[in-house]
A = this chain, B = another copy of it.
Amino acid sequence: MSKDPASAARPKTVRSIAELAVIANVSISTVSRALTGKGSLNQATRDRIRALADEHGFQLNVSAQNLRLGRTGAIAVLLPLGHERGQQLSDPFFSSMLGHIADALTGHGYDLLLSRVLPDRPDWLDVFVRSGRADGAIVIGQSDQGAVLSQTATHYDRLVVWGNPNPANGYVTIGSDNVTGGAIAARHLMARGRQNLAFFGASTAPEFTARQQGFLDTLPDDIRSRTKIVPIPFTPEASFAVASQFFALGNRPDGIFCASDVIAMSVLSAAADAGIKVPQDLAVVGFDDILLSRIASPPLTTVRQDIEGGAHRLVDSLMRKLAGEQVESHCASPALVVREST
């Protein structure tokens, strides 16, 4: 047989600290001390017990450890399925955010409990919180759940929310300044000499309405008065259909601001179908700066949100809350990324 310890026959599967204690001929607490590294212990016995644990493929049971420590070791990431139940996680923005959050939480030693929740009852968040499955929660997207979030925040502090800041909210939000983002898009389109505009993405999601508001408020009255406001469904396919229909009806704006890059990409596609040249006939500005926006045809001018930075700030804020610190909401400034669609 091999001398490689990994492939050596395992004498017996050890499932608990107690069994290992018997094998090592020490008390249970000594094993605990050896494996956790806490408390004081003779280095020789510590090494011996650790070797024994390795040999028997034993690790501390995290669940039991957590129960004893009064924690779960997990942070919940909640995605309320608000306006459109279908495809939130398919939006590259969400998944990118989720990936960065996962990495940040791992860095802090927490597991990530992912939950897509259907906000069917007004106390869904309370129910989740009271179930005690996580030590804290990150809610991605307020959707239309501001009231629920505020209600829970009154008695549960280990909560941070990604979204549009709003002084009326009783909870900490980390997000981008969507109003300013909209304004940036408006100024850019005007700087390109565009006068006949449209906004794609009218919605009840607060992020989207803020982008819309910032955009419209920045336009001079005459331009704004003829700016078309187009509601957009959340799936790329449906969004494409709306855009196609829009052009088919003869609408020919020379500039469109889209509330997300996915919408913008569907507009680019519909425009190509309709024989509209981008950016010559039509300038298109997106929002988010997802990775794919760089390989759109043409590459998309967009209002960039710092997704990675936002994810880290979300996690850091929550960690500080867990540590008992006071945490303020934060609102990052988005930045224009000019590519070839304008």
Contact = CB atoms under 8 A, between A and B. Distances in A.
A135 to B, nearest CB: 10
A71 to B, nearest CB: 9
Q: Which of A66, A96, A114 has the most CB of B within 10 A?
A: A114
Contacts of A272: 297-298
Interface stretch (A186-194, A252-260, A288-296, A329-337): A288-296
Nearest to A298: B272
Contacts of A98: 89, 95, 114
B294 A131 contact: no
A27 interface: no
B74 A102 contact: no
A65 to B, nearest CB: 9
A131 B92 contact: no
A237 interface: yes
A182 to B, nearest CB: 23
A59 B132 contact: yes
Given A90-B291, A239-B295, A269-B297, 5 more contacts: A58-B130, A63-B67, A98-B114, A113-B113, A236-B295
Interface string A62-77: 1110110000111001
A123 B6 contact: yes
Given A90-B95, A291-B87, A291-B90, A113 B112 contact: yes
A265 B235 contact: no
A126 interface: yes
Interface string A262-281: 10011011101000000000
A98 B113 CA distance: 13
A88 interface: yes
Contacts of A287: none
A231 interface: no
Identify whether the interface residues of A are mostly helix, strand, loop, or mixed. helix
A99 B88 contact: yes
Interface residues of A, number: 63
B103 A291 contact: no
A57 interface: yes
A261 B122 CA distance: 40
B236 A59 contact: no
B90 A99 contact: yes
Interface string A229-244: 0000001110110000
A146 interface: no
A237 B246 CA distance: 31
A127 interface: yes
A336 B217 CA distance: 47
Contacts of A265: 292, 295
A235 B291 contact: yes
A58 B88 CA distance: 31
A8 B63 CA distance: 35
A111 interface: yes
A77 B98 CA distance: 13
A64 B298 CA distance: 55
